[in-house]
Copies of this chain bind each other. A is one copy, B any other.
Amino acid sequence: MVHLPEKLLNGYRNFMAGRYASETSRYRTLADDGQTPETLMIACCDSRSAPETIFDAGPGELFVVRNVANLVPPYAPDGEYHATSSALEFAVQGLKVKNIVVMGHGRCGGIKSVLGPTHEPLSPGDFIGKWMSLLGPAAEAVSGNTMMTAGERQTALERISIRFSLANLRTFPCVDILEKKGRLNLYGAWFDISTGELWAMNPVTGDFERPRLD
């Protein structure tokens, strides 16, 4: 009796014969000493933009939150369950990460869903509709511009959402304080699935630019 999809088991076999075999001591050390990742990555669930793949990151390097459209809600200490804020708090206060990267990507389905036309909720709970409504005002400003193509509106909102999440990150007192002390750095990035291009946000202007790799 097999208790996992065959494809995953095959992949796991490759992992054991490959990466784990060649990095056994690294895994053991990480298990014994605990993790000390330098970077918290806030990324999208999308199957095409895994941070470990795009940044060729090994075990122990990236502490990764993934939700639809890589959103950070604003600071709301209201006693509710907050998946993203919890991970943020754990990474910043518990693990003392040095960097937070919000990484968006092209052709994001979550972003597309708020640019209309209006859809029926995916289920009666309409969780995704509520979640993406965090971007409501920005989506409205973009979707009204019919002189931009659908693709341009999509890219524009993807990038706005990264700046939105970065701004929300700074509403968390711990992030704000540590950044001002120079002990925490915030970054924005956007990945183009088709071309593989990575665009990094210029922290001064907010523009996304191709980093010079040479």
Contact = CB atoms under 8 A, between A and B. Distances in A.
Contacts of A66: 64-66, 87
Can you tell how many copies of this chain the complex includes?
Answer: 4
Nearest to A39: B5
A49 B24 CA distance: 14
A122 B90 contact: yes
Interface in A50-67: 50, 52-67
Interface of A is mostly: mixed
A51 to B, nearest CB: 8
Interface residues of A, number: 131
B94 A109 contact: yes
Interface in A18-49: 18-20, 24, 27-28, 30-32, 34-35, 37-39, 45-49
Interface in A163-203: 163, 172-174, 185, 187-189, 192-196, 198, 200-203
Q: Which of A18, A86, A172 has the most CB of B within 10 A?
A: A86
A96 to B, nearest CB: 11
10 contacts: A12-B54, A12-B56, A32-B194, A45-B64, A50-B64, A80-B130, A85-B125, A86-B131, A89-B123, A141-B144
